[in-house]
Amino acid sequence: MATEKRRNDNGKRYADKKYDSKQMTQKTYRRTDSKPNTSCPVFKTCGGCQLLDVPYEKQVKKKREQLTEQLKTFCKLDDFISMENPAHYRHKVTATFDRDRKGNIISGVYREGTHYVVPVEHCLLENQKADAIIATIRGLLKSFKIKTYDEDSGYGLLRHVLVRVGYATGQVMVVLVLASPIMPSKNNFVKALRKEHPEITTVVVNVNDKRTSMVLGEKEQVIYGPGFIEDKLCGCTFKISPKSFYQVNPVQTEKLYTKAIEYAGLTGKETVLDAYCGTGTIGMIAASKAGNVIGVELNKDAVRDAVTNAKRNQISNIRFYQKDAGEFMMQVAESGDKVDVVLMDPPRSGSSEVFLDALCRLSPKKVVYVSCNPETLVRDLEYLVKRGYRVERACGVDMFPNTEHVETVCLLSKLHEAKHHVNVTLDMDELDVTSAESKATYEEIKDYVLEKHGLQVTNLYIAQVKRKCGIIERENYNKSKSEDTKQPQCSEDKEKAIRDALEHFGMV
Ligand code: SAH
């Protein structure tokens, strides 16, 4: 996530775009003088590591407390999963190429919210092999007469370099992002690069000829090796193409996926839907513990990788669909097919209402929600809780040490439908809801009380308690018109349980 943030483009262009890398470094050293806890010369200027000057234990404490606060209305948190060695964990590194004022070739990251390139030679988060490869490329450009791309004039060739290092396999993919498809002496360039780094297993040219802050363009040409790398997570092998999403911190990803599968509590019989599945990672790890798995993902390349991955791992009980997850969920809900567990791992923006609505209609017993953005997670949990789900467990995982980002995995379960009904005479207008009431239906409150407290309560009792809480204003809510005087009165324990439900649904 850190790189995503660094790449943010607020659309502003600065008149004086160029930096002198030396000036830059001096300036940032001065800044860091007052921040003795970090040795990074571009701390703050780069904007990638907001917490680099905070000792790691304190970072973890801060993240844990923040998440506890954000999720306090839903459930208590399981132990936060921190990282044992929180350095050089990013196995995907993207460097933007440019020139400083003196014409020296630099590579690094966009200063947050701008198109200034902050030169980075050694990053405390990035894989060191990846940084060394990027340094070699910087050194080779001159002798190969490859110009860096200039965003203002549109001249030049090399825009970015993306390096991905397989954690378990050691395979290395280098993607050269060029402004045009012609790369001079590409074979010799690969030869020279591999002479320094024989560990490179594939080199791909990606063409991005658009004025955009997106790193990768559409077209690709493999100039060395197979055009992808493989990596292993939780015992499965995964093919990773340049454009496929694959988590950047493999050590913590294993812990995250293990927690997600633990929460799913699979017995070997379930139908599992892995939504926003990327290259099929979570679904494939779940497949050996489930009856069958369905994966859905929007990105074509990722789905292609997912299909190959299933074959490669000899997993036959998994199918993939390339589709918008919301649309797909709607179709599944309408088809009447049964799904027991939904695993969902949406992007930072969270899930769509179409998806969540279809999810509620599909009504799986369990939902395991993996999120990289607590704010959208809370928003989506609120929606699901109102529609009859309860958050059972949640756990924070530090996927991005030294940054403010935090990953969360949550388990939600469907509250059972009430098995017994008690008939109560109430007029229809007594069941009208005001806007304050509309947060949870009488049925949802009854389900919650039965599930959590083992008590059956009537609409009348709920209405009585609501009135006591000041949610219902009208006089007749706790009175049946037909029997104005003798009303059964809600007992103390039931009242307590109903109050708990009202609190749970955020109504009091
Ligand atoms: N679960 C995977 C990927 C998670 S990242 C993993 O752990 O590796 C989120 C994924 O959602 C990305 O692969 C992205 O391409 C996909 N995505 C984004 N919007 C989507 C949508 N509307 N429908 C389906 N997939 C979507």
| Minimum mean pLDDT range among 254-263, 368-377, 403-412, 432-441 | 432-441
Q: What are phi and psi of 238, to 5 degrees?
A: -125, 135
Using the mean position of ligand 1's atoms as its centre, give its distance from the Cα of residue 348 in Å: 10
Using the mean position of ligand 1's atoms as its centre, give its distance from the Cα of residue 356 in Å: 15
Closest by Cα among 21, 2, 10 to 115:
10
Listed in sequence order, the residues at least 6 apart from 477 whose beta carbon sits closer than 8 Å to its beta carbon are: 430, 463, 464, 466, 467
For residue 10, pLDDT over 70 is answered with no
Backbone Cα Rg of the chain = 27
Q: How many CB atoms lie within 10 A of CB 100?
A: 17
Q: Are strands 292-297 and 318-322 parallel, antiparallel or unpaired?
A: parallel
pLDDT, tens digit, 9 for 90 and up, residues 242-285: 998 999 999 999 999 999 999 999 999 999 999 999 999 999 99
* Ligand 1 binding pocket includes 324 (Cβ within 6 Å): yes
For the chain, what are the domain ranges?
Answer: 2-51+90-233, 243-414, 428-504
Identify the pLDDT of residue 416.
76
Listed in sequence order, the residues at least 6 apart from 83 whose beta carbon sits closer than 8 Å to its beta carbon are: 89, 249, 251, 252, 398, 401
Identify the pLDDT of residue 507.
84
Among the residues of 74-178, which ranges form H helices?
A: 128-140
Which two tokens mark 353? 């209402």
* Ligand 1 binding pocket includes 437 (Cβ within 6 Å): no
Q: Are strands 366-371 and 407-414 parallel, antiparallel or unpaired?
A: antiparallel
Q: What are phi and psi of 493, to 5 degrees?
A: -65, -35
What would the mean pLDDT of 355-377 be, rounded to a whole number? Answer: 97
For residue 418, pLDDT over 60 is answered with no
CA distance 503 to 508: 5
What would the mean pLDDT of 29-36 be, rounded to a whole number? Answer: 36
The active-site residue, picked from 372, 395, 410, 490, is 372
CA distance 291 to 123: 44
Share of the chain above pLDDT 90, in %: 70
Using the mean position of ligand 1's atoms as its centre, give its distance from the Cα of residue 301 in Å: 12
What would the mean pLDDT of 430-454 be, rounded to a whole number? Answer: 69
CA distance 465 to 473: 12
Which two tokens mark 318? 């998994």
| Minimum mean pLDDT range among 41-50, 102-111, 351-360 | 41-50
Q: What are phi and psi of 321, to 5 degrees?
A: -130, 135
Identify the pLDDT of residue 34.
43
Share of the chain above pLDDT 70, in %: 85
**Coil, strand or helix at 58:** helix
The gap between the terminal CA atoms of the chain, to the nearest Å, is 36
CA distance 452 to 101: 66
CA distance 467 to 502: 12
- Residue 39 banded pLDDT, cuts 50, 70, 90: confident
**Coil, strand or helix at 349:** coil
* Ligand 1 binding pocket includes 244 (Cβ within 6 Å): no
Which ligand 1 atom is nearest residue 346's CA? 9
For residue 477, pLDDT over 80 is answered with no
CA distance 125 to 338: 43
Q: What are phi and psi of 131, to 5 degrees?
A: -65, -40
What would the mean pLDDT of 400-423 be, rounded to a whole number? Answer: 81
Answer yes or no: are the C-beta atoms of 482 and 448 closer than 8 Å: no
- Residue 467 banded pLDDT, cuts 50, 70, 90: confident
Listed in sequence order, the residues at least 6 apart from 286 whose beta carbon sits closer than 8 Å to its beta carbon are: 261, 264, 266, 272, 274, 293, 343
Closest by Cα among 444, 261, 272, 259 to 364:
272
Identify the pLDDT of residue 169.
97
**Best-predicted range by mean pLDDT among 134-138, 439-443, 452-456?**
134-138
Closest by Cα among 203, 200, 214 to 3:
214
Residue 372 appears among annotated catalytic residues: yes
- Residue 31 banded pLDDT, cuts 50, 70, 90: very low
| Minimum mean pLDDT range among 67-71, 224-228, 307-311, 458-462 | 458-462
Structural element, H or E, at residue 486: none
- Residue 3 banded pLDDT, cuts 50, 70, 90: very low
Name the residue at shortest CA distance from atom 1 of ligand 1.
277
Exposed/middle/buried for residue 318 (C-beta within 10 Å: 0-12, 13-18, 19+): buried
Which two tokens mark 94? 């993207």
* Ligand 1 binding pocket includes 345 (Cβ within 6 Å): yes
Closest by Cα among 346, 276, 279 to 307:
279
Closest by Cα among 222, 253, 277, 205 to 92:
253
pLDDT, tens digit, 9 for 90 and up, residues 165-181: 999 999 999 999 999 99
For residue 487, pLDDT over 90 is answered with no
Q: What CATH code would you report for 2-51+90-233? A: 2.40.50.1070
The arrangement of secondary structure in 243-414, i.e. its CATH architecture, is 3-Layer(aba) Sandwich (3.40)
Which bin fits 334, alpha (ψ -120 to 50), beta or left (φ > 0)?
Answer: alpha
- Cα distances (angstroms) measured from residue 377 to each of 130, 137, 298, 451: 32, 40, 20, 24
Identify the pLDDT of residue 481.
35
Identify the pLDDT of residue 27.
31
Which two tokens mark 501? 């439900």
Identify the pLDDT of residue 48.
87
For residue 137, pLDDT over 70 is answered with yes
- Residue 438 banded pLDDT, cuts 50, 70, 90: low
Answer yes or no: are the C-beta atoms of 246 and 238 closer than 8 Å: yes
- How far, rounded to the nearest angstrom, does the alpha carbon of residue 507 sit from its chain's CA centroid? 29
For residue 14, pLDDT over 80 is answered with no
Answer yes or no: are the C-beta atoms of 253 and 247 closer than 8 Å: yes
* Ligand 1 binding pocket includes 89 (Cβ within 6 Å): no
